[in-house]
Chain A
């Protein structure tokens, strides 16, 4: 079984600043994948970044990076140079080695970017 915990219900950041969204996980699978998705008010779930449990380096995708600390079971998302369009709900999710599409999501963090 997998579990994701996102302890920040809401976060605020000033435009052009960096922000870190927290995510901790728990799993009994030796191999797993960690995901971050963005969900604007329109409802679409947008894939941001992926980290495999055996990846040696932290994943990066443009302004998004994933701070993966395996021993602490954390997978924090860092957004650099925040933009107004980054205001949305952000979900952390985990996929186990035999999950076959069964992503387990956290409760989400609402990010608000102020001008």
Chain B
């Protein structure tokens, strides 16, 4: 049973470029959440996708956008990259059971993005 898979594992971009990160959820999961983790910090929530729509969003600018496909996989897009976007981007999947507080999120290994 495959867990949450993310690609690529590492990425180097320059300021102003655009990047797309990909995530495949754990088998049986239908919900995908994205997080940004700066060095030495806890992860920060970007947004969650369910039924191909953004359901919840954290405090991130519109440069951060996403998409969920019918097979539940998801993409995170970041436009006009800034140096401060350098971070580990984590994807988490869960199975929606109708209530948030017992939503167990399982994470992938992340994509390390470096912006030069």
Residues 3-52 of A contacting B (Cβ, < 8 Å) = 4, 29, 31-33, 35, 37, 42-47, 50, 52
- CB–CB B103/A95 < 8 A: yes
Which residues of chain B are within 8 angstroms of A100 by Cβ–Cβ distance?
A: 48, 50, 55-56, 100, 103
Bound: A104/B45 CA distance, A: 8
**Is A56's beta carbon under 8 Å from chain B?**
no
Q: Which residues of B contact A42 (CB under 8 A)?
A: 109
Chain A's interface size range is: 20 to 34
Q: Give B contacts to A, CB under 8 Å.
A: 31, 33, 35, 41-45, 48, 50, 55-56, 58, 88, 90, 92, 94, 99-110, 112
Contact between B112 and A101, CB atoms less than 8 A apart: no
The chain A residue with its CB closest to the CB of B43 is A105
Complex: chain A residue closest to B94, CB-CB: A101
A-side contacts of B45, CB under 8 Å: 101-104
Q: A31-B99, A91-B43, A96-B100 are in contact. List 16 more A-B contacts (CB 8 A).
A: A44-B108, A47-B105, A47-B107, A50-B102, A91-B42, A95-B100, A95-B101, A95-B103, A97-B100, A99-B100, A101-B92, A101-B94, A103-B33, A103-B43, A105-B43, A107-B41
Residues of A within 8 A of B (CB): 4, 29, 31-33, 35, 37, 42-47, 50, 52-53, 91, 93, 95-108
B110 in complex: contacting residue of A32, A43, A101, A106, CB < 8 Å: A43
Given contacts A99-B56, A100-B55, A100-B56, A45 and B43 within 8 Å (CB-CB): yes
Interchain nearest-CB distance for B9 vs A (Å) = 9
A31 touches B101 (CB 8 A): yes
Which of B31, B58, B90, B100 lies in contact with A45, CB distance below 8 A?
B90
Q: Which one, A46, A96, A107, contacts B101 given CB within 8 A?
A: A96
